[in-house]
Amino acid sequence: MLYPNQRGRMSTNSDLRARCSSKRVGRLFLRLALGAVLLSPSLFAVQGIHADTVILEPAKDNTLYETSTGGLSNGMGEYIFTGRTNGGAGFDKRRALLAFDFASIPAGSTINSASLQMQMSRANNSTGRFTSLFRLSLDWGEGASNAGSQEGGGVMPETGDATWIHRFYNSVFWPNAGGTYVHDASHRITVSGLGTYTWSSSTMAADVQGWVNDPSTNFGWIVIGDESTNATAKRFNSRNHPTSSQRPKLTINYTPPVPGGACCMADGSCVTLTAANCAAQSGVYQGNGVACSVGLCPASGACCMNAGGCSVSTEMDCMAQSGAYQGDGLACGDVSCPVILEPFVDPLPIPAVAQPVSGAPGEAAYYEISITQQFQTLHSDLPPTKTWGYNGTYPGPTILAKRNEPVTVRWMNNLRDESNAYLTQHAAGGHVPTRRPHECRATGRGRAFARRSRGRRG
């Protein structure tokens, strides 16, 4: 945009930025750097998704020259026009039309921003005039007409040209002479002297989003200048201008869609999801771009295998593997499949020899043995199992004894839970009053029993 400076000359945005002090630039750089750090988590929230930018030239453009007969156009001209000429008599308005092809933007993309840049190459004067973009409601044409020279007066339209009263010369008309468009401006700026001007707004981005989502509504913009008085005409270079860098340019920043495809659910239904979302819902992803169709997703469920274990498959696949199908939509966690253990994979556990408190194994001895709870692996294919045993093992230790050698064992209840509280109370071997035969004795105390081994004489 151009701005008047203190000397009456026009300065561009670039000129003003160049005059910023180094201190101010330094502060601006610091703010931008901090902003980048703060924004980085959201920029990378979706792995692999990044914004792209495309710069487009118009697919077609034209000028509507005000005339009651629709006898003027300039489809192939090098220029397009806005505002009013000095002609007077009610036939001096000029309105520019531009439309773009968005085929290069993937369907489903999110439009982040849109900015239109045009080169103004001639004007009646450098007085600043509002120049606005409006979204067109109907399609229009660009024929082979070419006014030549300065092109301000237009030329006889060719077949398919847009004119003041025609959308397509000479048989399809505008409902309203001068173009049919949404009357809320998509963006408005002030255009004054020669130079490059840029229109950019969230409404323009919304316009492009709508055209990407539904290309059948893509009719482009009509550019209307100040028509409140005469001598306000502005001439802009068109898409046919010989200098490519001076043609209209529409810059679009967009985020492409996350790839998605058919996701088969356990109940046989099909939904379109990303691969990650499909996996999160325990579905089976069919591939990027694969559409849901009849028969694509047969129902699946838990299948108990003959060799043991469980898998999720279709009923047909389960039967082909000689499995037992448990039902549609059932997960392995919902069913109990028989566990089949491979035999002879673990050595026979041999209990350790108990060590007495006094004496020696196989001789007169005194033992203290605790009754305990512990986790023990009973098969290498099974998780640890909670067991009750003796001295922390199951089976318990082996007590060696010889004939005629007394052995005393003190059995101690040490069955405790995770909080160290006793799990049981009992009266085994205890002396309790006969009137209270089921009274539990104090827990944790042992009771000693003496036994003499009575082996046969050899």
Only one residue has tokens 């490519």, namely 244
The residues with which 302 forms a beta bridge, in sequence order, are: 312
Q: What is the mean pLDDT of the chain?
A: 84
456 against 404, higher pLDDT: 404
253 against 383, higher pLDDT: 253
Tokens representing 175 are 């409902």
Which H or E element spans position 64?
Answer: strand 60-65
Reply yes or no on whether the pLDDT at 166 is more than 70. Answer: yes
Instruction: Out of 64-73, 137-146, 438-447, pick the least confident.
Output: 438-447
> Sheet holding 270-273: strands in order across?
270-273, 261-264, 284-285
Instruction: Out of 22-26, 289-293, 370-374, pick the least confident.
Output: 22-26
In the chain, CATH 2.60.40.420 covers 358-452
Q: How many other β-carbons are positioned within 10 Å of the β-carbon of residue 408?
A: 17
Reply yes or no on whether the pLDDT at 26 is more than 80. Answer: no
> Which amino acid would we find at residue 330?
L
β 406-413/365-376 pair status = parallel
Q: Phi then psi for 6, rounded to 5 degrees?
A: -65, -20
Residue 446, Cβ density class (10 Å: 0-12 exposed, 13-18 middle, ≥19 buried): middle
Res. 454 pLDDT band, cuts 50 70 90: low
Which long-range contacts link 350-356 to residues 24+ away (Cβ below 8 Å)? Answer: 351/393, 351/395, 351/396, 351/397, 351/398, 352/393, 352/397, 352/398, 353/397, 353/398, 353/400, 354/391, 354/396, 354/397, 354/398, 354/399, 354/400
Task: Please work out, in degrees rounded to the nearest 5, the angle formed at the alpha carbon of residue 280 by the alpha carbons of 278 and 284.
Answer: 40
Residues 253, 51 contacting (CB under 8 angstroms): yes
423 against 428, higher pLDDT: 423
Q: What would the DSSP string read from start to end of 334-352?
A: GS-PPP-PPTT-SPPP-PP
Reply yes or no on whether the pLDDT at 12 is more than 60. Answer: no
Q: 354 to each of 8, 275, 369, 395, how far by Cα in Å? A: 108, 59, 9, 12
Residues 338, 306 contacting (CB under 8 angstroms): no
Buried b (16+ CB within 10 A) or exposed e, 271-288: eebbbeebeeeebebbee
Where is mean pLDDT largest: 13-17, 71-75, 255-259?
A: 71-75
Whole-number Å distance between alpha carbons of 44 and 264: 28
Reply yes or no on whether the pLDDT at 189 is more than 70. Answer: yes
Fold of 358-452: Immunoglobulin-like (2.60.40)
Which H or E element spans position 38?
Answer: helix 22-43
Tokens representing 134 are 């409006």
Res. 17 pLDDT band, cuts 50 70 90: very low
The three-class DSSP label of residue 291 is coil
What pLDDT is stored for residue 40 in this prediction? 32
The tens digit of pLDDT for each residue in 209-241 reads 999 999 999 999 999 999 999 999 999 999 999
Reply yes or no on whether the pLDDT at 203 is more than 60. Answer: yes
**DSSP structural state of residue 215:** G
Nearest residue to 400 via CA among 448, 352, 357, 457 = 352
Reply yes or no on whether the pLDDT at 380 is more than 90. Answer: no
Whole-number Å distance between alpha carbons of 30 and 20: 15
Reply yes or no on whether the pLDDT at 110 is more than 70. Answer: yes
Instruction: Out of 87-91, 251-255, 270-274, 289-293, pick the least confident.
Output: 87-91
**How large a percentage of the chain has pLDDT more than 90?**
58
What pLDDT is stored for residue 395 in this prediction? 86
- Radius of gyration for the alpha carbons in the chain, expressed in angstroms and rounded: 44
